[in-house]
Amino acid sequence: MMVRDAIERLGANTTSLVHELGRIAVFSAATAAGVARPAFWLLPRFVREIFDTGVLSLPIILLSGLTVGMVLGLQLFWVLTVFGAETSLGGVVGATLVRELGPVLTGLLVTGRAGSAMAAEIAVMNATEQLDGMKTMAMDPVRFVIGPKSLAMVFCMPLLNGLFICAALGGTWLIAVKLLGLDSGIFFQDLYDGVDWEKDVVGTMIKAIVFGALVALIATYRGFTSGRSAEEVSRATTSTVVTASVWILLADFVVTSLWKF
Amino acid sequence: MSKATRDFIVGLFVLAGLASLAYLSLRVGGIESDGKGGLELSAEFAEIGGLKERAPVVVSGVKIGRVKRIELTPDLHAVVVLDVDSQYQLPVDSSAAIRTEGLLGQQFVALEPGAEDQLLKSGDRIAYTESALSIERLVGDFVHGNDLENEKSKE
């Protein structure tokens, strides 16, 4: 019967979803265990991962930050002029960037640039049986490959977030002070007044760390469990970007509601 | 790219990232303003209006501290606890008033020093206070005051 088939399919999907969640949970526990027991000779590996994840993302982060700041400054300036409140541009832009746009946009950009690269690299290592080779030599691939990559992602995200926000503030300053004639001193003073360390800056760093952990987990998991063909590698990469982007936006809502902004 | 070059670039990247976070924390966020303080005073107000924690405490227009806590006494009066820089000497008959920056800006506590020789110590209560002015109540009184006058003149 059709109804019975439909319910059967629903049951099968639910079961496989729960299985998948379980595999992800076991994987993240194994990653955490691997990170907790670092080997000192993994340090060059870790530095290499920071280079691949952080330094290579710098151009897009700084460029996007600059342009986002410029657009924000331009748009908000015209809106604030309606209320005669142009002088509050610094605080408004600062609060927007620090609380929301900074961590979320950095997360999405890093997902696209470094997250996809990470997933692809691990998937290719899987496809070319490198991870299997490590297992036969009694080297736990989770501890020696996944661990440094995940840690590097979590480590780089707050740094890139800070650089993004500073680049954006620079862009806003350029537009507001140089182009639109706002007083530089007033801009900075309102910026300092509008952003609070305990609530805003700490909140942004927490968000960045959470997003970094999410991207790390999704990218490494997709790469690690991908099939062994070119098509599978490509699927792992694209599903990383899509899944991680969605989860970043969801997590942003959760952290914002829980945090005392 | 040699390993040394790559390590150097990573080091620069980490330094730049930490510097940006430090700038956001110290300059933009204003964490340094929590340094001074030490003289803890309390003041009871009938109405605190929109006064928030961490609002500035000001003498002659200069910030000397901030609002540490806002509490309610058991008999439902508002008590504001102030954290003032201990280098300033305030006589025991100083007064505290809640004022607004401009007409619609943020609210702050303004202290006016008194004339006594004895000084306030940490933990003391400021005796003379002036509550917040509520613009909405003023407008309401004005509107209803007008109505009352109209009714009286009709009788």
* N-term to C-term CA, chain A: 53
Q: How far is CA B70 from the centre of its chain?
A: 10
* Tens-digit pLDDT profile for residues A173-222: 999 988 888 888 888 888 887 787 777 888 999 999 999 999 999 999 99
pLDDT tens, A75-105?
Answer: 999 999 898 888 889 889 999 999 999 999 9
pLDDT of residue B31: 56
Residues B64 and B95 in one domain: yes
A121 is written with which tokens? 């690299």
Is residue B67 a contact partner of residue B53, using CB atoms and an 8 Å limit? yes
CB < 8 Å to A61, chain B? none
Higher-confidence residue of A197 and A6: namely A6
- Overall average pLDDT of the A228-237 stretch: 92
Whether residue B152 lies inside any domain: the answer is: no
User: Residue A157: pLDDT band by 50, 70, 90 thresholds?
Assistant: very high
The average confidence (pLDDT) of chain A is 91
Confidence of residue A251 (pLDDT cuts 50, 70, 90): very high
Q: Which residues of B touch A94 (CB under 8 A)?
A: 28
Q: Which residues contact B29 (CB under 8 A, 6 or more apart)?
A: A195, A196, A197, A198, A200, A201
The mean pLDDT value for B128-137 works out to 81
Q: B9 CB near a chain A CB, below 8 Å? A: yes
User: For residue B18, which residues of chain A lie inside 8 Å, CB to CB?
Assistant: 159, 162
Contact with chain A for residue B7, Cβ under 8 A = yes
Q: Is residue B121 part of a domain?
A: yes
Q: Identify the pLDDT of residue A248.
A: 96
Band of the pLDDT at B146, cuts 50, 70, 90?
Answer: low
Work out the pLDDT band at A261, boundaries 50, 70, 90: low
> With an 8 Å Cβ cutoff, are B24 and A160 in contact?
no
| B13/B87 same-domain check | no
What is the band of B11 on the pLDDT scale with cuts at 50, 70, 90?
A: very high
The pLDDT-based confidence of A23 (bands split at 50, 70, 90) is very high
Q: Which of A251, A252, A237 is nearest to A113 (CA)?
A: A237
- Give the residue on B whose Cα is nearest the Cα of A164: B20
- The answer to whether residues B117 and B59 belong to one domain is yes
Closest-CA distance, A91 to chain B, in angstroms, reads: 10
- Averaged pLDDT, B91-98: 89
pLDDT above 60 (res B73) = yes
* Shared-domain flag, residues B79 and B22: no
Task: Work out the average pLDDT over B120-136.
Answer: 83
Clarify whether residues B27 and B68 are in a common domain: no
A69-98: string of b/e by CB count within 10 Å (b at 16+)? Answer: bbebbeebbeebeeeeebebbbbbbbbbbb
What is the span of the domain harbouring residue B129?
Answer: 35-135
A62 chain-B contacts, CB cut-off 8 A:
none
**What does chain A come to in residues?**
261
Chain B contact set for A58 (CB, 8 A): 13
Task: Check residue A73 and give its pLDDT.
Answer: 93
- Find the chain A residues whose C-beta atoms sit closer than 8 A to any C-beta of B: 44, 47-48, 50-51, 54-55, 58, 94, 98, 156, 158-160, 162-163, 165-166, 169, 191-192, 195-198, 200-201, 204-205
- Domain chopping of chain A, boundaries: 2-258
Percent of chain A residues past pLDDT 90, beyond the cut? 70
B30 & B51 share domain: no
Question: What percent of chain B shows pLDDT beyond 90?
Answer: 8
Check CB contact under 8 Å for B6 and A47.
yes
Question: How many other C-beta atoms are found inside a 10 Å radius of the C-beta of residue B113?
Answer: 16
User: Could A51 and B16 be called an inter-chain contact, meaning their C-beta atoms sit closer than 8 Å?
Assistant: no
Confidence at residue A15, expressed as pLDDT on a 0 to 100 scale: 92
In a domain, B148, yes or no: no
Strands B78-85 and B128-130: unpaired
Does position B148 have pLDDT exceeding 80, yes or no?
no
Contact A192 B21 (CB under 8 A): no
Do B63 and B124 belong to one domain? yes
Q: Does residue B102 have a pLDDT over 90?
A: no
| B30/A contact by beta carbon, under 8 A | yes
Same domain, yes or no: B9 and B80: no
Taking residues A126-131, what's their average pLDDT? Answer: 92
Closest-CA distance, B142 to chain A, in angstroms, reads 27
User: Do B27 and B69 reside in the same domain of the chain?
Assistant: no
Q: Do both B59 and B129 map to the same domain?
A: yes
Mean pLDDT of chain B: 82
Best residue in A46, A47, A157 for a mutation probing chain B (most B CBs within 10 Å): A47
DSSP 3-state of A99: helix
Region B28-48: mean pLDDT is 73
ipTM: 0.82
Whether B93 maps to a domain, the answer reads: yes
Residues B71 and B61 in one domain: yes
Cβ proximity of A49 and A149 under 8 Å: yes
Domain count, chain B: 2
d(CA B39, CA B83): 6
**For A25-40, what is the mean pLDDT?**
88
**B46 and B100: one domain?**
yes
Question: What is residue B119's DSSP assignment?
Answer: B
List phi, psi (to 5°) of B66.
-145, 165
Element housing B100 (H / E): strand B95-100
Contact A159 B10 (CB under 8 A): no
Q: Which two tokens stand for residue B89?
A: 């000497």
- Scanning B35-94 for CB atoms below 8 A from A yields 54
